[in-house]
Structure 1
Amino acid sequence: MSGETIRVVIADDHPVFRQGLKGLLRALGVEVVAEAGNGPDAVRIAAELQPDVVVMDLHMPGGNGIEATRTITRTNPDVGVLVLTMFRDDDSVFAAMRAGARGYLLKESGAEEIARAVRAVAAGEAIYGPEIARRVLTFFTDMPDPRRSAFPELTEREREVLALIAQGRSNTEIAGTLYLSPKTVRNHVSNIFMKLHVADRAQAIVLAREAGLGESGRR
């Protein structure tokens, strides 16, 4: 979007806030082409004017901003949606992301931060305010490893052994990889079979691969 004027629609049910935001964006060289006071109007205006960005509040009468965002991003994929709201809870953040919003800022954000976000969304980038970014990172950092949660009855070492079994490794190879004695590996394998209620190596491999273990290094 460098060198081109960014065209924006502001969707918010508070006229005073719309006026303030419009003045801020215009002062920074951004063209505000229209305003909407509710979700359905935002959808209609976005379809008619095809702006670069819709700055979207989440809670508005006549259909909320999440629904409007979902409709706009589905029917007008070239229009980017930047959520600008006072709601900072995880449900709102992730609902907006799932609906297709490219950015999420809190209304307490500074003028430069808002302008930077508008430009980023217009350029097709994803951008989140510092607090929202931390929430997103924390969410994904705290997500359980599905490979670990698949077999909670196994110890960490037993999961390592099972992953190598799933790669088709022999007991001798497992012993060499994990620096264990062959007898220790045999004990681990026996414990794994017992805990997973499988009769042999083949059944253990099937279970492990279904859970995503052994994907890398499979021979």
Structure 2
Amino acid sequence: MVSPLKPPERRLIYVVEPHPIAAFHLAITLSRNSAAEVILSGVNLPADASFSDDPFVLIIDANALPFALAAFLRTARTVFHNARVLIIGNHLSDDELCRLLFHGASGFVGYQKVEEEICAAVDALTQGHLWFPPQLLERYVMLSSALEKQTRGDHGGLSPRETEVIGLLQRRLSNKEIGCALGISERTVRFHLQNIFEKLGVHDRHSALELAESVDPPQLPMELSVLKAA
């Protein structure tokens, strides 16, 4: 007897896009994924999503928002801990993309690649991966690690790799996202985190974050201020 095919997992997608025609076009493109459930929310954060325990993808049009994207992004990730934020846009520099990643974005798709990439990007984010060019992730890891060293000092003898891991941990990245950014497995990430916890004298990632955030950061060099610009 042949077992029935398992239905694809639902992909809940909220689209923050103020232009109705662009929003409709995005919805049509996303509907190619048979498991996608697309909800258009204009320029407002989806209020009903805060009551859901299921992970979902929040798509934001970077070039269409009438207010600062970084602040909007910080609010979105604070209110919706289960959101995976995908930015679409055009003419964004590597520094701007690093800044978006710093503030909680999980992926980016340029306007010219929306048709061919956005469904794959949504699937990747839903599975806990990042969707950024490899060279961008390398630059971000370098900046994040340097920021961590500048802000926290020696950190009790952390290795260069452990410094990279805790720098990404502070950006609220999951183990899978950290592994994706560094090109290592989740198991290796957990190994590094355990070493970090022992060196910092804490027992879990929450305590490590509390310890890291209790330190007042110094004035940042110009190269690192790229990440924290509004």
Q: TM-score, normalised by structure 2?
A: 0.51
The runs of at least 4 consecutive aligned structure 1 residues that moved more than 6 Å come to: none
Q: Structure 2: which 5+ residue stretches go unaligned?
A: 1-6, 148-230
Would the alpha carbon gap of residues 141 and 64 (structure 1) be closer, same or farther in structure 2, given more than 3 Å must change?
closer
- Identity, in percent, stands at 20
Greater gyration radius: 1
**Contact kept in structure 1, 2:17 and 2:60, CA below 8 Å:** yes
Give the CA deviation at 1:12: 1.5
2:119 matched to 1:118? no
2:11 to 6, 9, 21: 6
CA contact (8 A) 1:43 1:68 kept: no
- Does the aligned pair in 2 maintain the 1:43–1:71 contact within 8 Å? no
Instruction: Determine if the alignment matches structure 1 residue 47 to structure 2 residue 43.
Output: no
1:33 CA drift (Å)? 3.7
Structure 2 counterparts to residues 38-117 of structure 1, below 5 A: 38=43, 41-42=44-45, 44=47, 46-47=49-50, 52-117=56-121
| Higher RCO structure (Cα 8 Å, ≥6 apart) | 2
- AA partner of residue 47 (structure 2): R
CA distance in 2, matches of 1:43, 1:87: 27
- TM (norm. structure 1) is 0.54
- Provide structure 1 residue ranges, at least 5 long, that are not aligned to the other structure: 147-219
Compared CA separation, residues 138 and 66, structure 1 to 2 (3 A): closer
Partner Cα separation in structure 1 for residue 109 and residue 120 of structure 2: 11
> Any idea what the Cα deviations from partners look like across 1:59-92, whole Å, max 9, x if unmatched?
4445333222211212222111011111321332
Q: Please report the RMSD computed on the Cα atoms of aligned residues, expressed in angstroms.
A: 3.1
Match of 1:137 in 2: 138
- Seen in structure 2, the aligned counterparts of structure 1 residues 139 and 125 have a Cα distance that, compared at 3 Å, is closer
Aligned equivalent of 1:17, options 9, 22, 35: 22
Instruction: Work out whether residues 46 and 72 of structure 1, in 8 Å CA contact, stay in contact via their aligned partners in 2.
Output: no
